């Protein structure tokens, strides 16, 4: 499985249970990457979506200890999640946050697709800094593009020591 995330220059990802920025180019990229695939999200991220509803045309797998969520496949812990996503091709599964879910699942991801936003979003929650995490290497970085007044760059990090789930 792979993680997909947008980070600011401090690897910040959110504030007040919302995203830091509204960036149409990144939204478009996220949509085209995940459409028809499986997204793995935490309950708080689900609730941050418009109307608190799952994203359309994707299998939404939600981690939550507090119950089942309409329109989603709800799982109560990581072993149940791993069983659930085992039904799909590894390439089709995207870990889409938030912070706690990224933190728990990043060791099992083969790749992280990171949109870097060259700004400080004054974040409260963060993604692991992959430039400092052992085993992670920056494989590619696009030239910066501009969207909604922000300079952004699309990056891919590879995990050279993917953890196997026992
Ligand atoms: N920049 C980006 O690309 C991006 C992407 C996604 C989200 N975000 C941001 O990230 C923030 C939300 O992150 P967050 O860390 O506060 O919340 P989160 O990870 O979205 O959700 C946390 C919740 O997920 C459930 N959960 C997590 N681990 C679990 C486990 N092992 N077993 C069972 N349930 C588990 C729990 O739900 P229960 O309490 O129901 O048990 C927990 O309270 C928001 O600001 C959002 O906008 C940013």
Listed by start position, the domains of the chain span 2-159
Please check the confidence at residue 157 and state whether its pLDDT lies above 90: yes
What is this structure's pTM? 0.98
Q: Which protein residue has the closest C-alpha to ligand 1 atom 7? A: 98
94 CA from centroid of ligand 1 (Å): 14
166 CA from centroid of ligand 1 (Å): 23
Rounded Cα–Cα distance for residues 158 and 97 (Å): 18
Asked if 5 contacts 128 with a C-beta cutoff of 8 angstroms, the reply is no
Asked if 118 contacts 151 with a C-beta cutoff of 8 angstroms, the reply is yes
pLDDT value of residue 104: 98
Rounded Cα–Cα distance for residues 53 and 153 (Å): 29
160 CA from centroid of ligand 1 (Å): 25
pLDDT value of residue 99: 98
Backbone φ and ψ for 8, nearest 5 degrees, come out as: -90, -170
Rounded Cα–Cα distance for residues 34 and 57 (Å): 9
48 CA from centroid of ligand 1 (Å): 10
Please check the confidence at residue 70 and state whether its pLDDT lies above 90: yes
Q: Which protein residue has the closest C-alpha to ligand 1 atom 29? A: 63
| Residue 74, beta-bridge partner list | 62
Please check the confidence at residue 48 and state whether its pLDDT lies above 90: yes
pLDDT in tens, 96-143: 999 999 999 999 999 999 999 999 999 999 999 999 999 999 999 999
Closest CA to 99 of 26, 42, 27: 42
118 CA from centroid of ligand 1 (Å): 24
pLDDT value of residue 86: 96
Q: Which CATH class is domain 2-159?
A: alpha beta
pLDDT, average across residues 149-155: 98
Pocket test for ligand 1, best of 5, 98, 119, 120 (most atoms within 8 A of CB): 98
Query: Which residues are near ligand 1 (CB < 6 Å)?
Result: 5-6, 13-14, 17-19, 42-45, 48, 63-66, 76-78, 96-101, 104, 125
Residue 89: pLDDT band (50, 70, 90) is: very high
Please check the confidence at residue 166 and state whether its pLDDT lies above 90: no
């Amino acid at each position: 499985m792979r993680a997909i995330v947008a980070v600011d220059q401090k690897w910040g990802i959110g504030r007040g249970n919302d995203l830091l920025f509204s960036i149409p180019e990144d939204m478009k990229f996220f949509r085209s990457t995940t459409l028809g695939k499986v997204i793995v999200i935490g309950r708080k991220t689900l609730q941050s979506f418009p109307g608190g509803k799952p994203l359309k045309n994707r299998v939404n797998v939600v981690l939550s200890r507090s119950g089942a969520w309409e329109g989603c496949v709800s799982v109560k812990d990581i072993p149940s999640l791993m069983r659930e996503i085992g039904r799909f091709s590894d390439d089709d599964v995207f870990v889409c946050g938030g912070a706690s879910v990224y933190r728990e699942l990043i060791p099992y991801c083969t790749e992280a697709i990171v949109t870097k936003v060259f700004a400080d979003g004054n974040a409260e929650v963060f993604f692991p800094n992959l430039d400092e995490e052992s085993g992670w290497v920056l494989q590619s970085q696009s030239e910066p593009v501009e969207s909604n007044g922000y300079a952004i760059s699309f990056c891919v990090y590879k995990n050279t020591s993917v953890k196997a789930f026992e």
